[in-house]
Structure 1
Amino acid sequence: MSVWIAIGFGALDLVESEYAADGFDIVVVPATPGGPVFLLGEGAELWRRMAAGPVTVASLSAHEQEVARGLAEMGLASGDEGHPSRVRELNRPWLVSLFHELVYALISNVAASEGIDILFIKGPTLHAQGLRVREHSGDVDCWVRPGDDRKLAGAMEAWGWTPLFLPFTGTTVTHSLTLVAGEWGCAVDVHTSFPGIGLPPTEAFEALYAGSEMRLFAGAMARTPRVPEHAVIAALHDMRPYDGVPAGASAIEKSEFVLRRGGRSVLPVVSRLDAGFVLSNPLERVFGQEAAPFKTAAAPRDWGMRLETASSRRHFKALRLLPIRQRPAVLYRLVWPHSDTMRIAMGDRSATRLAVLRARVRRVGVSVRKLISRR
């Protein structure tokens, strides 16, 4: 080995951040599973040189070589100039939360290492595009092809995220898989579809991915929807029923706002995604007669299920949407949830198998009593 280079799954320059007051110069997500590493002093100075480098071993003092080896042990440096996680530039944060920006970079790099195409939706990008007033989001939303959600979830477990497997996970009924935050404190929603879009999930992803744009998060280039597509996604999010209750006046106003900001270019996007049924009301308010064709759009096949207020009836309707071969496994998980899901529900990630078993039995008992009371 003759040189050192900087590596990482995301990095930010902290010179003008609140962390600079504590002496920190740089924060880096290592290229191996672990939390963000804050660098200061000679470690930060050497890593910065490596990012601008490569830095030759011969140019380093014995002490600097020891520092370089320490950085390498932390997954922040390498002697391989062709390392896939090489960092060549250092940018300052643009999100309100630098930890969230690092999560974007981390997910982008993990997805790339797994060969997963990924699109980041909603969140601070909406603000950057002028589609939302609020800057910050509490979690990170991304979109992948059906099937890649489980693959990404498996890869993210090593970094501290736990997938919340629900009974309908892996079917067309569930639109996203939630990765529950560990020490990073930022949950991730991995979408494979979006409520209100009638186009089949894979086709919808391909359409949005093909027309996406690049955006930088903590040194990592990632794809986000363009303004018209993102406006439609945000409007659909506002128009979703919650616990079976249709969108109210406030939600419709928010949808109107974002569609107006998106401009007339949203109309062909709505057509392409077959989202006219859900958005017909706010579209008509914003675009008048231009939106008239959407008044006769057909409802998405799962919309009736989403408008059920009772979970039992919602589950029954959801089951009917599934191929018969998938129903037994879903029924089993409705009665007997995944062990990690139970631990999350219990609020105890370290719960023993016996404790999980008891919680499952109690859950079945509660469900039986509810069914008897409704007879």
Structure 2
Amino acid sequence: MKKWIAVSNGAINLGGVSSGVNDENLLAINSIFGTDEPIGLNGIHGKLWEKLVKGPVADSELTEDERRLVTEFMAFGIASDDDAHESRITVVDSPWLQSPLHELVYALVACVARETGIEIVFIKGPILQKQGIRSRHHSGDVDVWVDPDRIAELTEYLTDLGWSEAPDIWAGTEGNHSITMHAHPWACDVDLHRYMPGCGVSPRTAFSVVRENSEEELFASVSCFVPSKPMSRVIYALHELRPEFERKGTLAQIRQCAQVLSDGGDRTLEIVADLKATNALKPALDIGFPESSIDYEPGLPLNWLWLSQSNRITGYLLAIRMLPWRQRIIILSRLVWPSKAIVDSTNSHANVLVDSNFMGRLLRIKRGIVGNKSRKTR
């Protein structure tokens, strides 16, 4: 006899959460088939699915109408008769993120990674607020540190689910520290990080350090890996103090990061050393650990140094040194004559509107030389 269970790539109970809705069985569920948007259930449908959550539920325990509904659930990818299904859901909680949709995105990405064997760790975002590192709760996107050897695979899987890769001059090269995946149906961008600027070790070693200093956290009923609190402190400081040409970390930012790092004590210092990020974080470490004997690395990592240049042209020419020769030629050609998509994207970030692709390219070169005061918020 068949026994039914609930399955999904993430589920939350919105009862009492959604404005104007008073239904304790209002559910939002990601299908295991990867649909463009969550499936909504309420009333008898919501009650029946939550019954499966507490299951397995034998066919004999269901009415004829319920058996028909469960068959429909199975067709939609939210029920199964395999009680060992890897996407089985045994609890459905209320969302803890301010945006329930963002929480479902965390769960969906985690499930995609799990099913394909790609290791990931969710970084920054609301976990920082939950760990007491920052006061702001909501983030506009989802940040994921990905196994650098498989980031291209995860990009392809997310593309199949409706995300699209943002144009980037460094795309497909080792100079690309992150890939922004723009959302259409999900209205939530996903940033896939290959490495974090400021780390002097290889991307593979850096990811191993993050993975070894991670713990589990539930997002939309799905277990996800997030950094430990000491690890989050280091990631926070690297992100906040990362230079972007003429824009450098302010004294207020340095002091804030110094406090965040010092609150983590010796374990935080050990992680900074493991990542060989001491020089990148030196201004904050000098303030936060005035009595500690810190073994600083000889010189800044190149992935930090090129961002510290006074303009983009100088920075890009320095960054090219990080790349194999074949990739250097690709980037040089893109710098000289970038694609229309890259030109449109960078001009949009600079709040510049042009009718001509030729003029757009010229303006982009000018900004690279003299600097651009209008920067996208990180």
Counterparts of residues 84-123 of structure 1 (less than 5 Å): 84-123=86-125
Q: What residue is the counterpart of 2:4 in the other structure?
A: 4
Q: What residue is the counterpart of 2:351 in the other structure?
A: none
Shift of 1:371: 9.5
Q: What residue is the counterpart of 2:311 in the other structure?
A: 310
Cα distance in 2 for residues equivalent to 1:319 and 1:287: 34
Instruction: Look up the equivalent residue of 1:4 and give its one-letter code.
Output: W
Q: Compute the TM-score of the two structures, normalised by the length of structure 1.
A: 0.88
Q: What residue is the counterpart of 1:354 in the other structure?
A: none
Distance 1:38 1:243, change over 3 A: farther
Structure 2 gap ranges (5+)? 349-354, 371-378
Aligned residues of 1:166 and 1:333 also touching (Cα < 8 A): no
Q: What residue is the counterpart of 1:254 in the other structure?
A: 256
Q: What residue is the counterpart of 1:158 in the other structure?
A: 160
Greater shift, 11-20 or 196-205, is seen at 11-20
Distance 1:303 1:283, change over 3 A: same
Q: 2:207 aligns with which of 200, 205, 208?
A: 205
Counterparts of residues 294-373 of structure 1 (less than 5 Å): 294=296, 297-334=298-335, 363-364=360-361, 366=363
Greater shift, 118-127 or 165-174, is seen at 165-174
Aligned residues of 2:178 and 2:194 also touching (Cα < 8 A): yes
Per residue, is there more helix in 1 or in 2?
1
Cα distance in 1 for residues equivalent to 2:255 and 2:294: 19
Aligned residues of 2:200 and 2:301 also touching (Cα < 8 A): yes
Shift of 1:370: 7.9
Cα distance in 1 for residues equivalent to 2:338 and 2:4: 48
Cα distance in 2 for residues equivalent to 1:76 and 1:20: 26
Aligned residues of 2:3 and 2:57 also touching (Cα < 8 A): yes
Distance 1:236 1:77, change over 3 A: same
Kindly indicate whether residue 205 of structure 2 is the aligned counterpart of residue 185 of structure 1.
no
Distance 1:51 1:360, change over 3 A: farther
Alignment length, in residue pairs? 363
Q: What residue is the counterpart of 2:373 in the other structure?
A: none
Q: C-alpha deviations, 1:308-363, integer Å up to 9, x for none?
A: 2432222222223211121222234445656776786798xxxxxxxxxx975554
Instruction: Give the 3-state SS of the residue equivalent to 2:292 in structure 1.
Output: helix
Kindly indicate whether residue 233 of structure 2 is the aligned counterpart of residue 228 of structure 1.
no
Q: What residue is the counterpart of 1:217 in the other structure?
A: 219
Kindly indicate whether residue 38 of structure 2 is the aligned counterpart of residue 21 of structure 1.
no
Aligned residues of 2:167 and 2:345 also touching (Cα < 8 A): no
Greater shift, 117-126 or 75-84, is seen at 75-84
Q: 1:72 aligns with which of 68, 74, 92?
A: 74
Cα distance in 1 for residues equivalent to 2:249 and 2:320: 24
Shift of 1:94: 1.4
Q: Which runs of 4+ in 1 moved over 6 A?
A: 342-347, 368-373
Shift of 1:200: 1.0
Structure 1 gap ranges (5+)? 348-357
Aligned residues of 1:238 and 1:254 also touching (Cα < 8 A): no
Identity %: 33
Q: What residue is the counterpart of 1:195 in the other structure?
A: 197
Greater shift, 157-166 or 11-20, is seen at 11-20
Instruction: Look up the equivalent residue of 1:74 and give its one-letter code.
Output: F
Instruction: Look up the equivalent residue of 1:14 and give its one-letter code.
Output: L
Q: Compute the TM-score of the two structures, normalised by the length of structure 2.
A: 0.87
Cα distance in 1 for residues equivalent to 2:301 and 2:360: 32
